[in-house]
Structure formats: C-alpha cells, structure tokens
C-alpha cells in the first residue's frame, strides 16, 4: 500500500515539507510519481523508517489504526478499545 506525503505527514504529526526533506536526503525511501501526484511511500519503507526513528512509532500506530470504542459489541472488547482510544488521544495531545 502506498501513502501520500500529506497522509504520512498527518500520521506522524510533522509538516509535509519535513517528509519531503526526509525523502530528498535519503532518510525515507519513496517514489516521485509526478509533480502533480507527488511522492508516494510504500508502507514497508515507512515502517522501516519508524523502526529507525522510534519517537514516531506511537503516533504512526495511533493514526494508522484508529480504534473506536464502539467498534465492538462485546463489553470487554469495547472497554479495551476505549482504553486504547484514550491512550492514543493523550499521547497525541502531549506533543
């Protein structure tokens, strides 16, 4: 799956120009499709980048897999999802 510069910047809570700079300096592998379509990043390359830069790991996971507390019918799963949702929200607010 390919991710656009804009989406990746949103997931990592950085400016789009930061993602472009990582690409141009070789820190993050990607593909420049065209000037109009911009740079696309393979999710495997993004995950490798995140492993090398752990401060972005929690942010990426929180945005990549948003958990709604209402996604489950089972009360135990719903409570678990609610805790994950709250923790992800708190991590993002502290930055």
What's the pLDDT score for residue 94? 46
| Helix and strand totals (H; E) in the chain | 5, 3
CATH (residue range 1-64): 1.10.10
Output the tens digit of pLDDT for each of the chain's 95 residues.
788 899 888 888 899 999 999 999 999 999 988 888 889 999 889 989 988 988 888 777 555 455 444 444 456 666 676 777 777 777 765 43
What's the pLDDT score for residue 67? 45
What's the pLDDT score for residue 89? 73
User: Residue 53: exposed, middle, or buried by beta-carbon count in 10 A (0-12, 13-18, 19+)?
Assistant: middle
Tell me if the pTM is above 0.85.
Answer: no
H-helix or E-strand spanning residue 74: none
Q: Rounded to whole angstroms, what are the CA distances from 49 to 12, 17, 62, 73, 74?
A: 11, 16, 16, 36, 36
Domain regions of the chain by residue span = 1-64, 66-95
């Amino acid at each position: 799956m390919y991710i656009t510069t804009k989406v990746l910047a949103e997931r990592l809570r950085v400016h789009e120009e930061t993602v472009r700079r990582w690409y141009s300096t070789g820190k993050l592998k990607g593909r420049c499709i065209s000037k109009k379509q911009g740079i696309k990043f393979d999710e495997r390359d993004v995950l490798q980048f995140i492993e090398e830069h752990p401060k972005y790991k929690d942010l990426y996971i929180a945005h990549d897999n948003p958990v709604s507390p209402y996604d489950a019918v089972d009360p135990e799963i719903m409570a678990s999802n609610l805790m994950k949702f709250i923790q992800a929200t708190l991590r993002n607010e502290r930055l």
